[in-house]
Amino acid sequence: MNTLFNILIDGLAYGMVLFVIAVGLSVTLGLMRFVNLSHGAFAMVGGYCAAWLTREAQWSFWLAVPVAIAATALLGAVLEALVLRHLYRRKELDQVLFTIGLSFVLIAATNAIAGPQVQLIVLPPLLAGSVDLGFRTLPAQRLLVIGAGLAVAAAAAWTVTRTRFGVWLRAAVDHSGTASTLGIPIRTVQCASFAAGAALAGFGGILGAELMPLEPYYALKYLVLVLVVVAVGGMGSIAGSLAAAVLLGTIETASRYLASEWGSLFFFVAMAVLLAWRPNGLLKR
C-alpha cells in the first residue's frame, strides 16, 4: 500500500515535469506543424538561467524563476521571428536537421559559458526541506512541481477556451488559411505561441532540475521523453499531453520501484501500445 502511494506521488511529480516541458512542443507541433527538436534546449536554457541567477547573482528563488522564464520566452520569440519561421514551409526532415543543429550549437555554447558540471538551483528554505506526510517524507520541491503542473494545465486550458488569444490559437490550428482571411494575425499568434511554448519549457526545466540534472547535454538527452509525451498525447492537445505525461510518468516510476533491472522497458512498451491504439493522440479519435 505504501509503495502504491509512493508510486502515485513520485509518478505524478515526474509526469508534471514532463507535461510542463512537453505542452509547448505539442502546441507548436499542432499549430505550426514545425518539428522543433531544439525544444529541450529551451528547457535547458530556462534551468541554467535560474541556476545562474540563484547561485551566482544570489537572487531570491521567487524572483529568479519568473525572470528566467521571461528570458527563455524572449530567446524563443527572437529565434522564431528571425530564423525558424523561414522553415515552416520546408520538409520535415529539413526542420529536424536544422533544429538538431541548433541544439548542438546551444549545447556547445552552454558548455563554453558554464562548463560541463551539473548546475544546481538554490532553493529557498521553504522548498529546501522535506515535508512529512506520515507514511513518507517528501522533498518539498516535489509539492511545488505538482502544484505548478496543475496550475499550468489550468492556465493553459483557461487561455485556450476563454480568451481571445485562445480562440485565435484554436482557429489557427484548425485552419490557418481561413483564419488569416478572417483577420486573425497569424504571425503574431505563431510567434506568441512559440514564445509561450519556450517559456513553459524553461519553467519545466527549472521544476525538473532535481529529477533531470542540468548539464549541457540536457537539450538532447531528455528530448526523446518529451517527444514521446507529445506523440502519445496528440499534437496540439493540451489535455492529451497532460494525460500522456501523467500516465507515462507513473508507469516509469512504477517500473523503478518494482522492476528497476528492466530499465525503461515498460515506459516504451506502454508508449508503443498507446500510440498503436490511438495514433492521433490519447484523447482524440
Partner 1 sequence: MNPTRRTLACALLAASGLALAPVQAQAQSTAVKVGVVGPFSGPFAHYGALFKAAAEAYVATQGGKLAGKDIEFIYRDTGGPNPGQTKTLVQELIVKDKVDYLGGFVFTPNALAVAPLIQQSQTPTVIFNAATSAITEKSEYFIRTSYTLWQVTVPIAQWAAKQDMKKVVTAVTDYGPGIDAEAAFKAEFAKQGGTVVESIRMPIATTDFGPFVQRIKASGAQAVYTFLPGGPPNLGFVKAYNENGLTKAGVQFLGTAETDEFDLQKFGDSALGLTTAFHYSGAHDSPENKKFVDALKKRDPAAVANYASVGAWDGMHVIHKMIEATGGKKDGAKALAAARTLQWESPRGPVRIDAKTRHITQNVYLRKVERVGGQLVNKEVQSFGPHGDYGLDAK
Partner 2 sequence: MNHPTMTHPVQAAVAVAMPLQPAQSAPRCAPPWRAPLLLLVAGLAACAAFPDQLGLITRIFITGLFVLSLDLVVGVAGLATLGHAALFGLGAYAAGIFALHAHADPLLGLGVGIVAGALTALVSGAFLLRYQGFTFLMLTVAVSQIVLSLVQKARNWTGGDDGLSGFAMAPLLGRFAFDLEGKVAAVYSLVVLVLLFYVAQRIVQSPFGLAVRGIHENRARMAALGTPVFRRLWLLYTVAGALAGAAGALSAQTNAVVGTDSLSFALSAEALVMLILGGAGQLTGALVGATVFTLLHHTAASINPYHWLFVVGGLLMLVVLVPPAKAWAWLRQRAGGVR
Chain contacts with partner 2 (rule: CB under 8 A): 35, 87, 90, 92-94, 96-98, 100-109, 111-112, 116, 216, 220, 224, 227-228, 231-232, 235, 261-265, 268-269, 271-272, 275-276, 279
The widest CA-to-CA distance across the chain, in whole angstroms, is 59
105 binds, among partner 2, partner 1, none (CB under 5 to 8 A by kind): partner 2
Identified binder of partner 1 from the candidate list 78, 81, 211, 275, rule CB under 8 A: 211
The residue (of 54 and 190) whose beta carbon lies closer to partner 1 is 54
Q: Which residues contact 109 (CB under 8 A, 6 or more apart)?
A: none
- What is the C-alpha to C-alpha distance for residues 108 and 116, in angstroms, rounded to an integer? 10
The residue (of 33 and 159) whose beta carbon lies closer to partner 2 is 33
Residues that contact partner 1, how many (by CB under 8 A) = 32
HEC assignment per residue over 191-231: HHHHHHHHHHHHHHHHHHHHCCCECCCHHHHCHHHHHHHHH
Residue 258: other Cβ atoms inside 10 A? 11
Interaction of residue 257 with partner 1, rule CB under 8 A:
yes
Interaction of residue 8 with partner 1, rule CB under 8 A:
no
- What is the C-alpha to C-alpha distance for residues 147 and 32, in angstroms, rounded to an integer? 29
What amino acid occupies position 80? E
- In terms of Cα–Cα distance, which of 39, 15, 19, 14 is closest to 238? 19
Listed ranges 85-93, 155-163, 205-213, 267-275: which one lies at the site for partner 1 (CB under 8 A) = 205-213
Interaction of residue 181 with partner 1, rule CB under 8 A:
no
Identified binder of partner 1 from the candidate list 165, 217, 266, 268, rule CB under 8 A: 217
Interaction of residue 134 with partner 1, rule CB under 8 A:
no
- What is the C-alpha to C-alpha distance for residues 51 and 248, in angstroms, rounded to an integer? 28
Q: Min. distance of Cβ 247 from partner 2 in angstroms?
A: 15
Helix (H) or strand (E) holding 94: helix 92-114
Listed ranges 38-46, 69-77, 81-89, 113-121: which one lies at the site for partner 1 (CB under 8 A) = 113-121
- What is the C-alpha to C-alpha distance for residues 254 and 49, in angstroms, rounded to an integer? 32
10 binds, among partner 2, partner 1, none (CB under 5 to 8 A by kind): partner 1
Interaction of residue 80 with partner 1, rule CB under 8 A:
no
